[in-house]
Chain A
């Protein structure tokens, strides 16, 4: 973990095949080791299934696949459990599968960029940041919610 400078935002950086997803810490419940993921038929390809987190069933998604970065997501290493999106039921936790260990960072200043984002499905992206660690992807949670819960 980097030192905590004044006015910096603590975030969790979750590696993808193209830079890292950047989540404010307040959105993240827990990072857990890979556990059993049970497939759920009738869902989009980027829904890997559900896992049991502290006895609670949680949908596990591949953001790499949703963003068009990867066509499959076979090598899950960690699962990032997220708090329910605004307006959802208190039990609607969801989880993001990742192929590498997430890292805690502090972002003090960030510059928006589009460099290195070729092939990224921008519909779900609120902004792209040039971070010292590489490309930072901030998701558009309204778009995510609309796609997650279109039923």
Chain B
């Protein structure tokens, strides 16, 4: 399946719905970059379209309220324990149940170049416990990038929100 849809808010593109195999979201937070496969249905939202809040412990969250549903995103840098600048976008994984999201400085769509390969990777010593948030490393032009695991990410978001 391959489709991209967009909606507008305040005259600007406010969200993108992605369902494109072979594409990745490049998520940049501070000094780190990550990839997230867009085989899943992912909704990108700009900060101005979200309800921003802060939880106990200073955890930054943002909510997207649609009809009777409420999707919550958590700051990726805070979950992984490093410093980053202001966030501008959130990516919600619509195919996870419940829908979870991450907020980051920059999120943009990239095509997996023909030379790029995802190599499986299990990082040792994960701080969060539970399932790893990483599932591989994309090796190709522009240097290696770690690839996030949808289910691991969902578990981490839920753990952080439950605290």
Contacts and interface: CB of A to CB of B under 8 A. Distances in A.
B122 A43 contact: no
Interface stretch (A1-9, A49-57, A105-113, A126-134): A49-57
Interface string A125-151: 000000000000000000000011111
A91 B121 CA distance: 7
Given A42-B133, A50-B123, A151 B128 contact: yes
B121 A50 contact: yes
Contacts of A17: none
Contact of B125 (A39, A44, A88, A89): A44
26 contacts: A39-B32, A40-B146, A41-B80, A41-B82, A42-B80, A42-B81, A42-B127, A42-B133, A44-B125, A46-B125, A47-B124, A50-B123, A50-B144, A56-B119, A57-B139, A59-B123, A59-B124, A89-B120, A91-B119, A91-B121, A147-B125, A148-B124, A148-B125, A150-B126, A150-B129, A151-B132
Contacts of A46: 125
A41 B32 contact: yes
Interface in A13-61: 38-44, 46-47, 50, 52, 55-57, 59, 61
B19 interface: no
A149 B123 CA distance: 8
B81 A41 contact: yes
B122 A149 contact: yes
B77, B80, B125, B152: most-surrounded residue (chain A CB, <10 A): B125
Nearest to A41: B80
Contact of B124 (A52, A55, A149): A149
A42 to B, nearest CB: 4
Interface in B116-163: 119-134, 136-137, 139, 144, 146, 152
Contacts of A150: 126, 129
A94 interface: yes
Given A57-B139, A59-B124, A89-B120, A42 B79 contact: yes
A47 B144 contact: no
Given A50-B144, A52-B137, 13 more contacts: A40-B123, A42-B126, A43-B124, A57-B121, A57-B144, A89-B120, A91-B119, A147-B125, A150-B126, A151-B128, A151-B129, A151-B132, A151-B152
Contacts of B133: 42
Contact of B127 (A44, A57, A88, A149): A44
Contacts of B122: 59, 88-89, 91-92, 149
Nearest to B127: A42
Contact of B130 (A39, A55, A151): A151
